[in-house]
């Protein structure tokens, strides 16, 4: 496509992207450098049906004047980024100096909200992404081998987990693993431990969420792989069969190299999706045991009665940076291949 045609073709999309994605990200970035003005409080008498007390309220007159003068708030620089609820620079230095063993240091760091969330998010990505790729590929291969007649219904059944709304899917599983649910009660019987609960143990909660993630994301990988498998040329495969190559050898040397670009694509999308894991935590009510970066943002925006815009903005920016770092190796590799291909 000539560059000029491409430009006009891409312009509407590009504009929409700048308007709805680019600008909000810039605005979030700016917000992350600001904190609220110092609150001006005053002591007043408060009376309610249960009696009167003297306590403090925010002095609205003074506050609104300060706010009008500087609506963005107080410039805080990287203050929000480095505070305890985010990167916790000072705390980490302190732990490093105070703790005796490396294990104790890791324990301490693991207790900070941002790192706790980061570790869960990375663990989730590391377990879910490869398994999704593997499972998706195996399902695609098996379905590609069954008779055409039953393929349609089978494909529909396979992509069901993707059709089900994530929240509903996780709720269904949540009820099943309840200590009185069908899975939960059976596991208790099997292990002969009436106090065993999938929901109260941190490790088991993590495993549940990861299994749910694999179940939910595999259909996407499957659909893309299945489509890619249809483009694999039959001639080399037939030739390989004649040469006596086993099924495994055919897949390894012909099919995989052929669909390799698609694998990269699915890996990229899957990594991005998994890094933003959120719904299962809400669906499984797993806030106590598992927190992800997206959940931290949500928590800052809605769980407090006071909305922490600065905190939420800082975590958002760091999530974007995190995704960029995760994707960098794959992107660099694709870019290099693209260059050599030219």
Per CB under 8 A, residues contacting other proteins are 35-39, 41-51, 55-58, 60, 63-64, 74, 76, 80, 83-85, 91, 111, 113, 174, 178-179, 194-197, 199-200, 202, 284-289, 291, 299, 302-308, 310-311
Tell me if 131 sits within 8 A of 219, measured CB to CB.
no
- Of 125, 90, 119, which Cα lies nearest the Cα of 106? 119
DSSP H or E segment with residue 254: none
Can you state the percent helix, strand and coil of the chain, rounding each to 5?
A: 70, 5, 20
Closest to other proteins by CB, 9 or 75: 75
Closest to other proteins by CB, 59 or 245: 59
Closest to other proteins by CB, 229 or 312: 312
Closest to other proteins by CB, 110 or 142: 110
State the nearest-atom distance from the C-beta of 19 to other proteins, in Å: 22
State the nearest-atom distance from the C-beta of 203 to other proteins, in Å: 11
State the nearest-atom distance from the C-beta of 325 to other proteins, in Å: 24
Closest to other proteins by CB, 65 or 336: 65
Tell me if 200 sits within 8 A of 250, measured CB to CB.
no
Q: How is residue 55 annotated by DSSP?
A: E
**Distant-in-sequence, close-in-space partners of 289: CB < 8 Å, separation ≥ 6:** 200, 201, 202, 205, 206
The CA radius of gyration of the chain, in Å to the nearest whole number, is 26
State the nearest-atom distance from the C-beta of 74 to other proteins, in Å: 7
Closest to other proteins by CB, 113 or 236: 113
State the nearest-atom distance from the C-beta of 323 to other proteins, in Å: 24
**Rounded distance between C-alpha atoms, residue 133 and residue 141, angstroms:** 12
In SS3 terms, 132-163 reads as HHHHHHHHHHHHHHCCHHHHHHHHHHHHHHHH
- Of 208, 211, 233, 186, which Cα lies nearest the Cα of 284? 208
Closest to other proteins by CB, 158 or 289: 289
40 SS3 class: coil
Neighbours of 295 (CB within 10 A): 23
| Residue in the block written with tokens 């012909």 | 254
State the nearest-atom distance from the C-beta of 100 to other proteins, in Å: 17
DSSP H or E segment with residue 56: strand 51-58
Question: Any alpha helices (H) in 192-275, and if so which ranges?
Answer: 202-229, 234-242, 247-250, 256-275
Tell me if 269 sits within 8 A of 219, measured CB to CB.
no
State the nearest-atom distance from the C-beta of 58 to other proteins, in Å: 5
Closest to other proteins by CB, 218 or 291: 291
State the nearest-atom distance from the C-beta of 205 to other proteins, in Å: 9
The most distant pair of C-alpha atoms in the chain lies apart, rounded to whole Å, by 93
State the nearest-atom distance from the C-beta of 186 to other proteins, in Å: 15
Closest to other proteins by CB, 107 or 337: 107
């Amino acid at each position: 496509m000539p560059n000029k045609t491409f430009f006009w073709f891409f312009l509407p999309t590009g504009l929409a992207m700048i308007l709805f994605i680019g600008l909000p990200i810039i605005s979030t970035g700016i917000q992350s450098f600001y904190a609220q003005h110092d609150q001006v409080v005053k002591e007043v008498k408060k009376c309610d049906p249960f009696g009167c007390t003297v306590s403090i309220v925010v002095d609205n007159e003074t506050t609104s004047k300060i706010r009008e003068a500087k609506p963005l708030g107080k410039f805080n620089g990287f203050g929000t980024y480095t505070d305890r609820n985010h990167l916790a620079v000072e705390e980490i230095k302190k732990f490093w100096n105070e703790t005796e063993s490396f294990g104790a240091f890791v324990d301490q760091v693991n207790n900070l909200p941002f790192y706790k969330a980061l570790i869960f998010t990375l663990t989730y990505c590391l377990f879910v992404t490869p398994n999704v790729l593997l499972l998706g590929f195996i399902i695609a291969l098996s379905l590609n081998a069954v008779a055409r007649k039953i393929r349609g219904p089978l494909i529909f059944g396979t992509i069901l987990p993707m059709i089900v709304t994530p929240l509903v899917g996780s709720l269904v599983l949540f009820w099943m693993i309840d200590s009185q649910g069908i899975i939960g009660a059976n596991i208790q019987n099997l292990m002969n431990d009436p106090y065993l609960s999938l929901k109260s143990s941190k490790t088991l909660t993590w495993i549940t969420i990861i299994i749910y993630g694999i179940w939910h994301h595999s259909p996407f990988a499957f659909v893309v792989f299945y489509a890619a498998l249809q483009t694999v040329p039959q001639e080399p495969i037939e030739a390989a069969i004649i040469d006596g190559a086993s099924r495994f050898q055919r897949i390894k040397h012909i099919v995989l190299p052929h669909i390799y670009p698609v694998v990269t694509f699915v890996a990229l999308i899957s990594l991005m999706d998994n890094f933003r894991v959120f719904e299962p935590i809400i669906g499984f009510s797993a806030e106590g045991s598992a927190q992800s970066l997206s959940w931290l943002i949500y928590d800052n925006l809605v769980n407090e009665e006071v909305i922490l815009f600065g905190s939420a903005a800082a975590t958002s920016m760091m999530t974007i940076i995190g995704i960029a770092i995760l994707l960098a190796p794959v992107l660099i590799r694709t870019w290099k291949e693209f260059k050599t291909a030219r």
